[in-house]
Each structure stands twice: as C-alpha cells, then as structure tokens.
Structure 1
Amino acid sequence: MDMKKVVADNKGFLVFMLGMVLVRSAVADYYSVPSSSMYPTLLEGDRVICDRIAYDFKLPFTDVIVKHLDDPQRGDIVTFSSPEDGTRLVKRLVAIPGDVVEMRDEHLYINGQAANYEPISVANADHLTPQREFSGEQRVYKERLGSLDHHIIVMPERFALRTFAPVKVPDGQYMMLGDNRDNSKDSRYIGLVKRELITGQVKRLMFSLNGDHYYLPRFERFGSKV
C-alpha cells in the first residue's frame, strides 16, 4: 500500500480529524456521566459539554498551563483528573484557595459559616440514586452557602465520611465534593485537587439517555443548563 497516496487522497479528512482532536484536547470536549456521584444534578447517561478554556489555556494533550483565563469559583461543576489515579471525574467545586472548610455530620462549613439545608421533594424518581445501586432512604436538600446553591442527596443508612476536621485549602488547590454526598469518591477520599488537574467547566448538557429504560432519550435534558 502506498501510504503517500493514501494520505494525499484523504488529506482533507485527516486535517479535519486532527482539528477535531486538537479542539477536544484544548478547547471543548464532551463526556458521558458514568456514575451516580453527582445526582440529582447530573444523571447516569448524561453527556456533558466541557469548556476546557473556562479557566486556563493549556498545551494540547498536557496539563501545562500557558495562560490563566479565569479563576474557578465555589459552586462550579468541573471535570478533573483524579490526583489518586488520573481517572477523569466530574464534581462540584466547594472550596477555593484560602478557604477553611469542614464538615460536621453532613453539614458543610466554609470559613466558619454554616451552609443552610432546605428539604426538597423530588417529583421524578429518575433523579434519585438508582434502586439497583441503593434501595434505602434518600433525602434531598437544597444546600445554600454564598455562591453554593444546589440540590444534594444524603443517604443516612449508607456508610460515608460525614465529618472531617477544618482544612485550609492551600494556594493552587481546590476541594471537590459530589452532590450525591454519601455516594461520591471526592476530596474527602482522594485529597484536594491542584489547578493544573482541572480540565474544564461543565455548564450544559449535550443530551441524555436513560440506560435503565432501554436507553430512551430524556428529551427534557437535551441542551439544558446544569
């Protein structure tokens, strides 16, 4: 096979594919949500759009930051590489450099201020941890503390790390928690996340398929904000 001829005959397609790879590496990407750790905000089967230049411009295929563009904020949903094993994760950023953060019996405190928790009724059971994964009691609350204003799930019957002593977040690092608090492997277990490991911000869904119901589309989630 004449590789030069193959390349010449497919030059346009190869340039297009290279451009797509570069865009996904440096500008924007999309990920499938594989677990229930961010319920009720992100569901299994959601395909999220990740803005890779929300905070930093990096050299393609690396964690090398070329230029800071903006700073991550409390409440942002971000994608990052786990400091434990490099696995790609998506969680909510709850504490920024300089914050003193602690948790007391599932209640979050930042800089000495306690979050407020308002019980919420969930009309759609699809937004609760799937029964195949957990069949016990699930409680949904609206967690409010400054720019943190979102729904979380707690599961009193499940073993989880619900209390930890005050931690001051060092410069260049961030604390991540899952919205499904008792079913998330987050900074309580894998440690704080360095800025260079953050790969982007999630603001919107692309589409969503319900794997527990024959992968039927969740049309109400197509293109929705998170």
Structure 2
Amino acid sequence: MNIDFPLILMIATLATGVIALADKLLLARKRADGAAEPFLIEQSKSFFPVLAVVFVLRSFIAEPFQIPSASMEPGLIEGDFILVSKFHYGLRMPVWGNTLVPVGEPEHGDVMVFFPPNDNRYFIKRVIGLPGDHIEYHQGQLTVNGQKVDMKPLGGEPVYRPVNYFVQEQLGEHQAKIQWAVNPAASQNGEVMVATGPEGAWDVPEGQYFMMGDNRGNSSDSRFWGFVPEKNIVGKAVAIWMHWKSWSDLPSFSRNTWIN
C-alpha cells in the first residue's frame, strides 16, 4: 500500500493549526481559570510548530529520499539516501504540484525525482528529452535532436554488481556514467555483447519530459510508460548524504558526494 505522505502531512498541519488557533481565539476564553487544557488542544498546540516547520522544509526547500532499486546504477545504488532540492524547478504547491513561483526548468542530464504518469510512486531518472525534443536510442547510442550524444567506452565491472559494462555520456553539462548488462552467452571472439534496453524514437510533447535510467538495460522509464508531465516533477537530486541498505547494516557516509 502506497501512503501519500505529503497529503497526510498537509492535513495534519492544517488540523493542528486550526485547533490551536481556535483555542487561542475562542475556546481558551470560555475555560474556567486554572482549568486544564483538553488533551486534543494540548497536543495540537505542541505538534503544530513542528509539523509546520517540517511541512515548509520538505515542500519548498529540500526532501530526503532513499534509492529503492538498481535503475540508476552505477551513480546511484540501492540504499543511497539522497537530498532533493524542491526549489530548483520553481516553488510548487504541495500535493497538487502546480508552480507557484517559477525559478528554473529541467535541463538535459539533470537527475530528477518525479511521479510517472498514472502512478503515485516516486521515481528517479535522468532527464533525456525536454519539451519539443526528438529522441532516438539505437544499439546503445543516444541521439537528441539529430546530434549523437558523445559516448566513451569505459569497460569495467563494479564491485557491488559484477558482469556489467560502462560507458560515459556527455549530456548537456553533465557527464553520466551509464551501465549496460553484459550478455556472456552472446559474446564471441572477445567482443562484448551488452543488453542496452528498449530502442526507439520519440517526439517529446510540450509540457512533458522524456526520462531514462542510467542502468539502461534494467530501468523502467519513458521507453516503457511514456512522458512525464511538468506537474509531476518533485525536484532535482543534488547529493548523496548517506548509504544504508538495510536495518541489519550500519549506515555509511563513504559514498557522500554531489550528484552529476
């Protein structure tokens, strides 16, 4: 079951705030001198300032998320805790997502948190296509508006997930390390055969974005479920601040870094 935490937080903040305000303006005057505050009023007055601060911070400043899958390997791995800036793409109305104050817009190569179409789960992928772009992806080669994205083979095998192959893409101002799964059964004469994921060509509609995971052969992204509406944007991923894969492990800060 997916819990809509932003909605719950907004309702809790409003409810405790209304109760605290009603007590200040009306109810407190009617109580006898020295009478104890009812439990609900006491708790509301205690929790409202805390809820209000949390609501403002996570709605307009920054919000923490945990990476739940391998779709953004090798840059972001399962168990990474990341910080997402909520103001890079403009101040947005909590829950509804419409822009209140425009500040900036997504750029090619940004790592972005969002809601996919017809899904209330948070996703994180890289921005590949902006509104109006023409995107092509064939045999691992990404092309944006007729220009092939520079791609440099790196080879390699990560220690956390062996039998993978790396390339480096230059997308806008971002250098992204892309991961492909090696298919040993298909490799012949020393030539590496990799699974690069679904291929195709897409025209990005106005007001929408085309997203892909860095783990191209193992990512549920716009190649499967289509474009991301502008109102579904949550924020820009800016930093890894902790790695903690499971409760049986100790948290680690060795992966702390800015996200490119």
TM-score range, shorter chain: 0.7 to 0.9
Distance 1:53 1:5, change over 3 A: same
Give me the whole-angstrom Cα distance separating, in 1, the residues matched to 2:78 and 2:66.
8
- Aligned residues of 1:142 and 1:150 also touching (Cα < 8 A): yes
SS at match of 1:40: coil
Does residue 225 (structure 1) correspond to residue 258 (structure 2)? The answer is yes
Number of matched residues? 214
* 1:52-63 correspondence to structure 2 within 5 Å: 52-63=86-97
Task: Determine which structure has greater relative contact order: mean sequence separation of CA pairs < 8 Å that are 6+ residues apart, divided by chain length.
Answer: 1
Aligned match for 1:154, one of 177, 180, 190: 180
Shift of 1:200: 0.2
SS at match of 1:219: coil
Give me the whole-angstrom Cα distance separating, in 1, the residues matched to 2:170 and 2:153.
12
Does residue 8 (structure 1) correspond to residue 34 (structure 2)? The answer is no
- Aligned residues of 2:180 and 2:195 also touching (Cα < 8 A): no
TM-score, structure 2 length as denominator? 0.74
The AA in structure 2 aligned to 1:163 is E
Shift of 1:65: 1.8
Shift of 1:10: 6.2
Does residue 142 (structure 1) correspond to residue 168 (structure 2)? The answer is yes
1:201 matched residue in structure 2? 236
TM-score, structure 1 length as denominator? 0.85
Shift of 1:93: 0.5
* 1:1-226 correspondence to structure 2 within 5 Å: 4-8=38-42, 11-122=45-156, 124-126=158-160, 128=161, 137-157=163-183, 161-165=197-201, 167-211=202-246, 214-222=248-256, 224-226=257-259
Q: C-alpha deviations, 1:134-163, integer Å up to 9, x for none?
A: xxx411111124434210101143866432
- Aligned residues of 2:87 and 2:235 also touching (Cα < 8 A): yes
SS at match of 1:181: coil
The AA in structure 2 aligned to 1:103 is Y
Q: Which runs of 5+ in 1 are unaligned?
A: 132-136
Is 138-147 or 86-95 further displaced after alignment?
138-147
- Aligned residues of 2:199 and 2:223 also touching (Cα < 8 A): no
Q: CA RMSD in A?
A: 2.4
Identity %: 29
* Displacement over 6 Å in runs of 4+: none
Q: Which runs of 5+ in 2 are unaligned?
A: 1-35, 184-193
- Aligned residues of 2:180 and 2:196 also touching (Cα < 8 A): no
